Amino acid sequence: MNETTRQAVTAARIWLDGHDGSSDDQITMRMMKLMEESGEAAAAWIGVRGQNPRKGVTHERADVAAELADVVFTALVAIESLGFDAEEAVTACAAKVLSRLS
C-alpha cells in the first residue's frame, strides 16, 4: 500500500471513529458499507453489460474499476477498524494466495 493510501485509510478510520464511535455496532455498519460498495460494483458491471433492459448500457469498465476501488478502500478501513494493520493483513493474504498457486 502506498503512503497516500495508508494516510487516507487512517484518516477515514479516525474520522469515522470520531464521528460515529468505534463500538462493535459501528464496526458492523462499516462491514455493511462494504456490502453496499460491492453492490455498486455489481450494478456498474450490469450497466457495462447492458443487462437491465430498461436502461441498456449505462456504465463503462472504468466505472466498474472505480467501484471496485471503493470496495477495496472500504475493506481496508474495516480492517483498520478491527484494530489490525491493513497493509499487513493484505500482505498476509497475498502470501497465502501465492503459496496456493505454487
The domain spans of the chain are 3-101
- pLDDT at position 94: 97
Q: Which CATH architecture has domain 3-101?
A: Orthogonal Bundle (1.10)
Q: Which single residue is written with the C-alpha cell 462491514?
A: 31
pLDDT (tens digit per residue) in 85-94: 999 999 999 9
pLDDT (tens digit per residue) in 29-49: 999 999 999 999 999 999 999
Number of neighbouring beta carbons within 10 Å of residue 9: 23
- pLDDT at position 87: 97
- pLDDT at position 56: 95
- Using alpha carbons, list the distances in angstroms from residue 57 to 36, 44, 51, 66, 84: 21, 10, 8, 17, 40
Separation between Cα atoms, residue 84 and residue 100, nearest integer Å: 24
Q: For residue 81, give the C-alpha cell.
A: 477498524
Name the pTM for this structure.
0.93
